[in-house]
Amino acid sequence: MVSSLFTVMTWNIWFDKTNRKTRTETLLNEIIFYNPDIVALQEVVEESLEIIIAKMTPTYYIIGMNAHFQSHSNSNSNSNSHYDTLILSKFPPLQWNRYHLPKTKMRRNLLLTTLQTSTSQISVGTFHLESVFNRHNQYAEELKISQLKYIYAISPMNTILMGDTNLVSDNAKSEHLIDIYNMSPCACPQTEPSISSETHCLDICPFQKGATYCGQTNKNIKNKSIQSRLDRIYLKILRNSLKVHFYGLTGTFTQPSDHFGIFSQIEI
């Protein structure tokens, strides 16, 4: 079987209205800089979607646009808009669909697509799990883990899954999914974004390695004590057919979101 090399990125772009147009354009410029093959985005609102369409086509196919895209409203937000997930791909989609996650009270879903690469077909999914953060509420974590298990079950083999888990504990996970962060040596923190053939891990949060949501280092987060590795890239792939070439955090200097993004290069 011929192996394929993919560069992928996932980023929760933040639904907040504050400097939304500028933040979205800055985030997209960073995506263009890294030039990934596949991008998973969460919290995409209508205004951001218009900018994405104008700036990212025809370089990327934009996957996930339909009536459902505007069906989820966060009543606690100040965005006065709807948000959902989206996938950008340099590979043409053969098909795509959305699947509502079990027991969701926020209309969360899995956006799953099959892409045709030059050598094979690959499945890609993105998700945004329930935003429930009570550390003392075991049910909240179990709910998100059950949603991950559903995502694993519904995804075919050879699937890249990217998104915002909202998991409070780094130990809370689906035992079946491969978290590529754990496939990377993460030997040393980086001071600047870089891409090389060696494996690197950009750990900028002073408390938790790989944290994509870190109040100490992200000016958009008011609570400076918060730190968590919310955003993940999972794989439903045989371990012996996988190699991680690069793993790092993005948006550490421009900070267009309250999340840092993840950029990775993987060989399948």
Residue 197's pLDDT is: 38
In the chain, where does DSSP find H-type helix? 20-34, 46-56, 138-154
Residue with tokens 């994405």: 52
Residue 80's pLDDT is: 44
Considering the entire predicted model, what is its pTM?
A: 0.88
> Is the separation of the CB atoms in 130 and 147 below 8 Å?
yes
pLDDT in tens, the chain (268 residues): 578 899 999 999 999 999 999 999 999 999 999 999 999 999 999 999 999 999 999 999 999 987 555 544 444 444 444 789 999 999 999 999 999 999 998 889 999 999 999 888 999 999 999 987 665 566 788 889 999 999 999 999 999 999 999 987 766 566 678 998 887 655 333 434 444 434 445 567 777 788 999 999 999 999 998 899 999 999 998 878 888 888 889 998 899 999 999 999 999 8
Burial of 247 (0-12, 13-18, 19+ CB in 10 A): buried
> Is the separation of the CB atoms in 206 and 254 below 8 Å?
no
Region 5-179+230-267: CATH code: 3.60.10.10
Residue 71's pLDDT is: 45
Q: Where are the domains of the chain?
A: 5-179+230-267
- Helix axis angle for 46-56 and 20-34, nearest 10°, is 40
> Is the separation of the CB atoms in 74 and 44 below 8 Å?
no
In three-state secondary structure terms, 137 is coil
